[in-house]
Amino acid sequence: EVQLVESGGGLVQPGGSLRLSCAASGFTLSTYAMSWVRQAPGKGLEWVSAISGSGGSTYYADSVKGRFTISRDNSKNTLYLQMNSLTAEDTAVYYCARLSCSSSSCQSPPRNWIDPWGQGTLVTVSS
Amino acid sequence: DIQMTQSPSSLSASVGDRVTITCRASQGISNYLAWYQQKTGKVPKLLIYAASTLQSGVPSRFSGSGSGTDFTLTISSLQPEDVASYYCQKYDSAPFTFGPGTKVDIK
């Protein structure tokens, strides 16, 4: 069974940093591109970032570009999101997600849909 | 960047009604569109990918259509368990933008 378990969320002050982790199991992480999606309280879904299976290609939403860094350690089956210069607008539940496709290897984020999603981890930015 | 819009933003319908949600891209995205369902307090769930392909395990009352800029999600006979928010997402190229969502309730 595919499982994605996020950790690292919590309360952080404005201007602070936080690193989220996503432990993947039930599949070979290196053969899948991965993504982070967030959802502010009471709001819709916002795509944040994506990374190719090898980690060689990364993609960011304009709202986080230059502040957030996505990375992965395939040997540890773990995806990361380093978040710096946090503001109140970054307060949200952050979901880790696998990108899927019709073939057995879905390494490039474009043209891959999200499935499945992790349970999410809450990040609250407040003084 | 390509913008995604959805209409309506919310709707209320009776059990058994046919429900249609529209998603529009500001530029053509071929058929690189997915639909997700999110029930209150739950994780989003994939319903449809490639605009019209039903994800395994999703009830057949859900269907998707469209290509280019205009897409629709249809629930052929609304059930109480379909109360949720529905989001479309483009995945042709980054940014992989979501639509603003459509909230579906039972009348």
DSSP per residue over B18-83, as a string?
Answer: -EEEEEEESS--TT-EEEEEE-TTS--EEEEETTTEEPTTS-TTEEEEEETTEEEEEESS--GGG-
B:20-79 residues touching chain A, CB 8 A cutoff: 32, 34, 36, 38, 43-46, 49-50, 55
Other Cβ atoms less than 10 A from the Cβ of A20: the count is 21
Digit-by-digit pLDDT tens for chain A (127 residues) are 999 999 999 999 999 999 999 999 999 999 999 999 999 999 999 999 999 999 999 999 999 999 999 999 999 999 999 999 999 999 999 999 999 998 878 888 889 999 999 999 999 999 9
CB contact under 8 A, B98 and A95: no
Amino acid A105: pLDDT: 81
Amino acid A78: pLDDT: 98
> Whats the size of chain A, residue-wise?
127
CB contact under 8 A, B100 and A44: yes
Question: Closest-CA residue in chain B for A65?
Answer: B95
| SS3 state of residue A113 | strand
Average pLDDT over every residue of B13-27: 98
CB contact under 8 A, A113 and B49: yes
Amino acid A109: pLDDT: 87
A6: which 2 tokens? 């996020």
Cβ proximity of A51 and A110 under 8 Å: no
Q: In what order do the strands lie in the sheet with A68-73?
A: A3-7, A18-25, A78-83, A68-73
Question: Closest-CA residue in chain A for B97?
Answer: A47
CB contact under 8 A, A59 and B85: no
CB contact under 8 A, A45 and B92: no
Q: Which residue has the tokens 């290196």?
A: A30
CB contact under 8 A, A47 and B85: no
Cα B104 from Cα B107, distance rounded (Å): 10
CB contact under 8 A, A116 and B46: yes
**B10 φ, ψ to 5°?**
-155, 155
CB contact under 8 A, A110 and B93: yes
Average pLDDT over every residue of B62-69: 98
- Please check whether residue B91 touches A, CB under 8 A: yes
Amino acid A104: pLDDT: 78
- Please check whether residue B86 touches A, CB under 8 A: no
Average pLDDT over every residue of B36-51: 98
Cβ proximity of A4 and A24 under 8 Å: yes
Interface test mutation site (partner B, options A114, A121, A122, max chain B beta carbons within 10 A):
A114
Find the chain A residues whose C-beta atoms sit closer than 8 A to any C-beta of B: 35, 37, 44-47, 50, 59-62, 95, 99-100, 102, 109-120
